[in-house]
Structure 1
Amino acid sequence: MAAYKLMEFISWLVCHQPDCLNHALAWVLGHLGWRVVPAWRRYMAKENIKDCLGVDETDAEKIARESVYRFGRMLIEVLKYPLITRDNFRQLVHFEGLENLEKAYAEDKGVIMCTAHYGNWEMLGASMALLGYPILSITRKQNNGAMDRFINDYRRMVGQHVTYNHGENSMLAIGRYLKKKHLVGILYDQDSAHTGEHLEFFGKPSRVPQGAAHLSRMFGSPIVPLFMHNNPDGTLTARIYPALHTEKTPNRSQDVRVIMKELVAIAEREIRLDPPMWFWVHDRWKDGRKRYKEYKKGV
């Protein structure tokens, strides 16, 4: 409860203090964030950036740092949710390809919104809700109960519905929303451990969560990839791609694989366009600790 009240107070402060102070606070939080990231994650992020993007050590260090620094701005934007309304949010968020979402929604089969841990992904779900679309955001339960409650309360504040990414209740909620022709938001860029489609991501063997493709195939819902970009002037731009459609042939695994390959290619394209927007300190290939240990041993 104390943590929840503290976050409420910080949010109140952010909503009432001048923007110049919020910019300074975002800078401080972002730079502190880099300092508290474990050394093995910092090393892993830089090595993965070099592997994936073919850049040198200096550029890899810069991208890795900026990918963490931006979280200060993201946090401030979320803490300002109490100030955001349907009437004013488009002063903050611009749209590129909004007609693609409108066309997909007009199919009347629900829409599966697919994004990555890229830019301010929280504002994507918020923006869809503020546009007037009924949306269910699928999220991972936080380890800290107070923080989990806080972020979910803020998601609901801007009109989102929330369910966790596991359990029977989650699947029932997802199915119910798609049957009602609503939007469902899914993050698809993290390794799904022992499940998922075996695909290359930036030329490296990976497992990719298949949920979006399976749901699309089951309900006939179009998949709309979208990504949120930071603009230098403090605004955001949501880039929305044309819808993908999962075929329903006798070969289910191939149907799913085709769509997941398309989604992976789109994610790669977005990350190459603006590398610091992606969450590089996540252990995407599950080898970060091992690589760091080998580095420390001089292997």
Structure 2
Amino acid sequence: MTESRPVTLLMRSEALAARAALAFLRRLGPVGASNVGGAICRVIGPRLPVSRVADANLRLAMPELDAPARRAIIRAVWDNLGRTVGEFPHLPTLKENPPSGPGWDVVGAEHLAAQLARGGPVIFMSGHIGNWEMLPPAVGRHGLPFASFYRAAGNPLVDDMIRALREAAMKAATGDGATGGRALPMFAKGARGARGALAHLARGGRLGMLIDQKMNDGIEARLFGHPAMTAPALAAMALRYRCAVIPGYVERLGPARLRIHVEPPLHLPDSGDRQADILALTQAVNDRLERWVRARPGSWLWLHRRWPKSARP
């Protein structure tokens, strides 16, 4: 278990329901589970209050969209989220470069090969786009398994299930060869986790970060032309160790069919003004995220409050 917390009867009931849901999804197979997850969320999700957050975000970020276009994007967001959940227990079974059907491929694998040859610390940056859970095992399959930041689920029994599924996907992708049979470290979000991640990079480790969520005590960068408080940790760590920052995201091609896009490392500023360099790199990260989201707005998780209330229409 991730940490010592009292387990209540409600937690046990939730865990029992989660195990039953996982068993059901496994019986459906990857395509069936993806389709069922997408269908359920497409029907229920747009009716939930949180979808009003997504609509407000879209009106702010993409004011050129009319109401029907926003509704279509929100429906696509829920479809993608449901498919991501449905596919989760099947990640260990998905193969690279299948001729058809479920599986995944990589565009830009040469950037992974170059980093593998170069060695040393690296930060992989991404966002909640497509099936983001496929990124760690796919990159691990190419010889670069990485540690991650992690927000534990409130129920420790469910949290154990989530971690076990992620570890199973990594093991299936790497065959334990790239990890030496050891579970990769998971750093809790917060000051303690940041210190652990810094030490990991100092030892030449690899780290993955999803950089698209609001951080109230972050720094003000811009996203879709509006101020957005953004975590500076990625920029601060990359500049401290001058380690490569490799962007990448997952494109959904179909049910349980995914494409991992890997891009060249970002330029690391070196002006001599540390705070200015941190802001410049953080802005470059937000700019890259914005480019990905504009290309496929229905694939991003618009459901969280990314901008301050004062910026919303």
Q: Does 1:65 align with 2:88?
A: no
CA deviation digits over 1:222-255, x for unaligned, max 9? 1011111100364111111110243455311011
Q: Deviations over 1:28-65 (max 9, x none)?
A: 33225415632xx3223123213322211110111012
Match 2:200 to one of 177, 181, 184: 177
Letter paired with 2:54: A
Q: Which runs of 5+ in 2 are unaligned?
A: 1-11, 171-182
**Residue of structure 1 equivalent to 2:174:** none
Residue among 17, 27, 43 paired with 1:6? 17
Q: Which residue of 1 aligns with 2:209?
A: 186
Contact 2:251 2:261 in 1 (8 A): yes
Alpha-carbon distance in 2 for matches of 1:20, 1:101: 28
TM-score by length of 2: 0.82
Whole-angstrom CA distance in 2 between matches of 1:247 and 1:20: 44
Alignment of 1:220-239 (within 5 A): 220-232=242-254, 234-239=256-261
Q: Distance in 1 between matches of 2:145 and 2:29?
A: 33
Are the structure 2 counterparts of residues 33 and 113 from structure 1 closer, same or farther at C-alpha, using a change threshold of 3 Å? farther
CA offsets 1:190-241 (integer angstroms, 9 cap, x no match): 1111x22212211111111111111111122110111111003641111111
The answer to whether the 8 A contact 2:113-2:142 is kept is: no
- Tell me the equivalent position of 2:309: 287
Residue 161 of structure 2 is matched in structure 1 by: 150
Correspondence for 2:58: 49
Distance 1:252 1:142 in 2: 35
Count the aligned residue pairs.
284
Deviates more, 1:261-270 or 1:120-129: 120-129
Letter in 1 for 2:71: E
- 1:199 paired residue among 202, 214, 221: 221
Structure 2 distance, partners of 1:199, 1:275, is 20
Alpha-carbon distance, 1:181 to partner: 2.7
Match of 2:234 in 1: 212
* Amino acid aligned to 1:127: A
How far did residue 286 of structure 1 move? 3.6
Could you give the per-residue CA deviations for residues 120-162 of structure 1, whole angstroms, max 9, x where no partner exists? Answer: 1111122222333231011222223332222122112223622
Measure how far apart 1:76 and its partner are. 1.4
Distance 1:147 1:214 in 2: 33
Normalising to structure 1: TM-score of the pair? 0.85
CA contact (8 A) 1:134 1:182 kept: no
Identity, in percent, stands at: 20
Q: 1:11 to 1:132 in 2, by over 3 A?
A: farther
Alpha-carbon distance change, 238 to 146 in structure 1, aligned in 2, over 3 angstroms: same
Do the aligned partners of 1:109 and 1:219 also contact (CA within 8 Å) in 2? no
2-structure distance, mates of 1:116, 1:78 = 17
- Give the distance between the partners of 2:210 and 2:35, measured in 1 at CA: 30
Name which of 127, 143, 147 aligns with 1:132: 143
SS at match of 1:71: helix
